[in-house]
Structure 1
Amino acid sequence: MKAGILDHANLVQASEFIAGMNSLRQCHIGYLGTSQNDILHSLEEMNSDAESAAFIVWKDGAIAGFLGVDADLNKGTAELWGPFVQEFEFMRLLWEKALHYFEGNLHSYFLFADTANHTAAEFALSNGFKPQSAQTYMELKGNPSNELRDISLLPPHSHSEFIHLHDTLFPHTYYSGKEIIGRLSDEHKVYTSGDADGLNGYLYAEYNRDEKEGSIEFIGVKFCKRKKGIGRKLLDMAVHDLFVNAGSASIKLCVGTTNQKALSLYKKAGFKVERSLSFYKLYIWE
């Protein structure tokens, strides 16, 4: 048995190993897909990212353990892709290598695992991770309506207003309003709703052209404008654009398991519950 850093020569073998495990609820990690092609694409991106790294354990000439660290050194945070292991003892080895590699550069680690993944839960709790929230993963396959819809996208003159609204509604999240503006493209869009008072709601969605998959990342409505159907209007707008104009085959999202209003909104729009996940966070004191 030996451990090392994943390199380009091992990407295909690693993607095969992860795909075989991540399709199982008891091994699933939410930051990665379940198809080998999707996982290989993610590994290729990680391998080309100088800030991130992945660690593997070899046994009898084959990969027997994997842990990816998708790091943002500017923020000092990282998402854990794994651990995926054939033997429990490999987790300790992979985690020690990751901590040593990033020592002094990261202060927070995030883990997002299926509630049936008891191995990940034990890893998290035994290493000081704290449970943060329960999330429900939902998916919509096939456009439920071909009705033509007007698409309203965020105009440049509303960028500042959007940033303020997003950062007010989601003050501590993975993308700030400014970061979303920086990501805007033909495949990353902010759909909007407004009136005489200005911007009253928005939905940020991304489209993966290779996988033909859309994802709803954020949906927010001003507190004073709620219960007026704005959320459903934004959702219908984004769903139509992703299916009809972008050519998406499916749309995914994650929502807090206790957020019954949001769950009801998505279910009424045709989204189905696919899995339940637990979100953990480790903060390392300097």
Structure 2
Amino acid sequence: MKSEILDHANLMQASEFIAEMNALPECHIGYLGTSQNDIYQSLEEMNRDAESAAFIVREGDALAGFLGADADLNKGTAELWGPFVQENEFMRLLWEKALHYFEGKLHTYFLFADASNRTAAEFASENGFMLQSAHTYMELKDNSSNSLRKVSLLPIHFHSEFIHLHDALFPQTYFSGKEIIERMNDDHKVYTCLDADGLNGYLYAEYNREEKEGSIEFFGVDPNKRKKGIGRNLLEMAIHDLFANSGAKSIKLCAGTANGKALSIYKKAGFKVERSLNFYKLDIRE
């Protein structure tokens, strides 16, 4: 048994190893896909990235363990791709190699694993990772109808009001209100509910033309306007537009597992639970 840094010559073997394991809920890591081609492309990108690195364990010629660190040295953070191991003892070996490799360069590590992944949960517990949140991933298959439905998109004169509402509802998230407006185009849309009082709610969705897949990224209603069906109407509007007008074959979303109200709305709209994942964080400065 020996450990080494993943190089280009091992990418195909590693992608096969990961694809086989990541298709199983009990081994799944959320930062990677499940198709071998997608995983190979991700590994290629990591291999070209001078900041990131991946580590493998071999038993003879066979791959027996993998751990990647998709690093951002400027921020001092990394997302962990793995651990994927055939034996739990390999986790310690891979983690020690990663910590030594990035010593002094990284201070925070993130792990995103299926709730059924006991190996990842054990790894997190043993190494001081703290559970931050739980997420439920859902999907809706094409159920488009030919019925006409009015689609209301964010007007330019409501941009500042949108920024204020979004940043109040989702502070310190991955896209600020200003960043969403900068992303807006034919495939990145902000659906709105407006009346004489102004902006009551919105839904931001993106469409991937190549994959024919929509994704609901943010969905918010003014706290003073809730329980009036605004959320349901926004969701129905976005679903109709993505299926009937954009040509999506499916729509995906992620919601907090603890947010029972949101999950209920999505389920009533036809979304099915695909996967539940736990998000862990380790800050070695603490």
After the TM superposition, which of the residue ranges 8-17 and 135-144 deviates more from structure 2? 8-17
Cα distance in 2 for residues equivalent to 1:42 and 1:185: 26
**1:123-177, CA deviations, whole angstroms, 9 ceiling, x for partnerless residues?**
0011101112222221111225443333333445544433332221122333333
- Aligned ranges for residues 59-74 of structure 1 at < 5 Å? 59-74=59-74
Aligned match of 1:86: 86
2:192 alignment partner AA: T
After the TM superposition, which of the residue ranges 154-163 and 232-241 deviates more from structure 2? 154-163
What is the CA distance between 1:49 and its match in structure 2? 4.3
In 2 relative to 1, CA 53–198 (structure 1 residues): closer, same or farther, beyond 3 Å?
farther
Aligned match of 2:227: 227
Cα distance in 1 for residues equivalent to 2:75 and 2:259: 28
Q: Secondary structure at the match of 2:161?
A: helix
TM superposition score normalised by structure 2: 0.86
Percent sequence identity over matched residues?
A: 78
Aligned match of 2:276: 276
1:254 alignment partner AA: C
What is the CA distance between 1:270 and its match in structure 2? 0.2
Aligned match of 1:173: 173
**1:175-221, CA deviations, whole angstroms, 9 ceiling, x for partnerless residues?**
33344345445443333332333333222223334433322222111
**1:215-268, CA deviations, whole angstroms, 9 ceiling, x for partnerless residues?**
222211111121222222222222223323333322222212221110110001
Aligned match of 2:24: 24
Aligned match of 1:42: 42
Aligned match of 1:189: 189
In 2 relative to 1, CA 15–190 (structure 1 residues): closer, same or farther, beyond 3 Å?
farther
Identify unmatched segments of 5+ residues in structure 2: none
Aligned match of 1:96: 96
TM superposition score normalised by structure 1: 0.86
After the TM superposition, which of the residue ranges 234-243 and 117-126 deviates more from structure 2? 234-243
In 2 relative to 1, CA 132–146 (structure 1 residues): closer, same or farther, beyond 3 Å?
farther
After the TM superposition, which of the residue ranges 75-84 and 99-108 deviates more from structure 2? 99-108
2:55 is the alignment partner of 1:55: yes
Cα distance in 2 for residues equivalent to 1:156 and 1:55: 48
User: What's the C-alpha RMSD, in Å, of the aligned pairs?
Assistant: 2.6
Q: Which has the larger radius of gyration?
A: 2
Aligned match of 1:215: 215
After the TM superposition, which of the residue ranges 86-95 and 159-168 deviates more from structure 2? 159-168
In 2 relative to 1, CA 186–87 (structure 1 residues): closer, same or farther, beyond 3 Å?
farther
Cα distance in 2 for residues equivalent to 1:68 and 1:185: 34
Cα distance in 2 for residues equivalent to 1:60 and 1:22: 23
Cα distance in 2 for residues equivalent to 1:102 and 1:184: 37
What is the CA distance between 1:76 and its match in structure 2? 3.6
After the TM superposition, which of the residue ranges 84-93 and 18-27 deviates more from structure 2? 84-93
1:109 alignment partner AA: Y
Q: Is the 8 A contact 2:145 2:244 kept in 1?
A: no
Q: Secondary structure at the match of 1:143?
A: coil
How many pairs align? 286
Aligned match of 1:198: 198
After the TM superposition, which of the residue ranges 60-69 and 155-164 deviates more from structure 2? 155-164
After the TM superposition, which of the residue ranges 166-175 and 186-195 deviates more from structure 2? 186-195
Q: Secondary structure at the match of 2:227?
A: coil
1:86 alignment partner AA: Q
Identify unmatched segments of 5+ residues in structure 1: none
